[in-house]
């Protein structure tokens, strides 16, 4: 028997069957009471078990959370731009002389992560004047890195000069890589144009 539509705010009622209630009808009526996209999701839940049943349980939980008081408020998540934009008045990099190690300094670089830290460490270790170079992220919730640099005894360089030289050589390498990429891309486009013209 087809379900009939009761009063406003309720979904269609499902008549009992000999083997119990019609599950598809129940889910559809629940979806009708909820409305919109949830209705389509509830209707999809009508059959099957396994992964579909787990998805339906998730759908039910999210529907209940959406109807909870205060659900329309923004979640307690940090602003994504805070991970890349240095706050006003904060320098991009600060230096601290290491008092435990001779000829060593720690540089804190704000709003950077493993990408810059590992590049700097690798480039610093290529320098023959460097004894030790490493980086760390002080805390997982902080978007900063600390780079520790120690120069060899008797080296005329300071850790700052070594860092400056490494950044300059890294910049030159990246410019070279960009030029090679753009040149190869132009060559590939030229070849494709010739192939299509033939």
The answer to whether 145 touches 108, Cβ cutoff 8 Å, is yes
Q: Long-range pairs for 1-5 at CB < 8 Å and ≥24 separation?
A: 3/28, 3/29
- Using one digit for the tens of pLDDT, what is the confidence trace for 179-192? 999 999 999 999 88
- Using one digit for the tens of pLDDT, what is the confidence trace for 13-30? 555 565 555 555 555 555
Backbone angles phi, psi at 131, to 5 degrees: -90, -45
More confident residue, 82 or 76: 82
The answer to whether 149 touches 157, Cβ cutoff 8 Å, is no
Structure tokens at 155: 């080296």
- Whether the per-residue pLDDT at 164 is higher than 70: the answer is yes
Nearest Cα residue to 28 out of 46, 51, 8: 46
- Averaged pLDDT of the chain: 77
Task: Report the C-alpha gap between 98 and 75 in whole angstroms.
Answer: 41
43, 46, 49, 54 alpha-carbon torsion, rounded to 10°: 40
Task: Report the C-alpha gap between 10 and 29 in whole angstroms.
Answer: 8
Confidence class for position 82, pLDDT limits 50, 70, 90: confident
Q: In 3-state terms, the chain is what percent helix, strand and coil (to 5)?
A: 45, 15, 35
- Per cent of the chain over pLDDT 70 is 60
Q: What is the pTM of this model?
A: 0.58
Task: Report the C-alpha gap between 130 and 165 in whole angstroms.
Answer: 11
Q: What pLDDT does 156 receive?
A: 86
């Amino acid at each position: 028997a087809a379900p009939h539509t009761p009063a406003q705010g309720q979904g269609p009622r499902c008549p009992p069957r000999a083997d119990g209630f019609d599950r598809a009808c129940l889910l559809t009526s629940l979806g009708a009471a909820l409305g919109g996209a949830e209705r389509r999701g509830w209707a999809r839940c009508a059959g099957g078990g396994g992964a579909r049943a787990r998805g339906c349980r998730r759908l039910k939980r999210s529907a209940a959370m959406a109807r909870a008081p205060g659900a329309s408020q923004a979640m307690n998540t940090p602003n994504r731009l805070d991970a890349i934009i240095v706050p006003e008045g904060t320098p991009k990099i600060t230096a601290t002389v290491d008092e435990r190690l001779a000829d060593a300094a720690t540089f804190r670089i704000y709003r950077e992560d493993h990408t810059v830290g590992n590049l700097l460490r690798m480039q610093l270790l290529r320098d023959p004047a460097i004894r030790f170079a490493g980086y760390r992220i002080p805390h997982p919730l902080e978007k900063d890195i600390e780079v520790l640099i120690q120069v060899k005894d008797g080296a005329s360089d300071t850790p700052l000069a070594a860092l400056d030289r490494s950044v300059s050589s890294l910049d030159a390498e990246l410019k070279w890589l960009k030029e090679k990429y753009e040149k190869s891309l132009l060559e590939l486009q030229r070849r494709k144009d010739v192939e299509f013209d033939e």
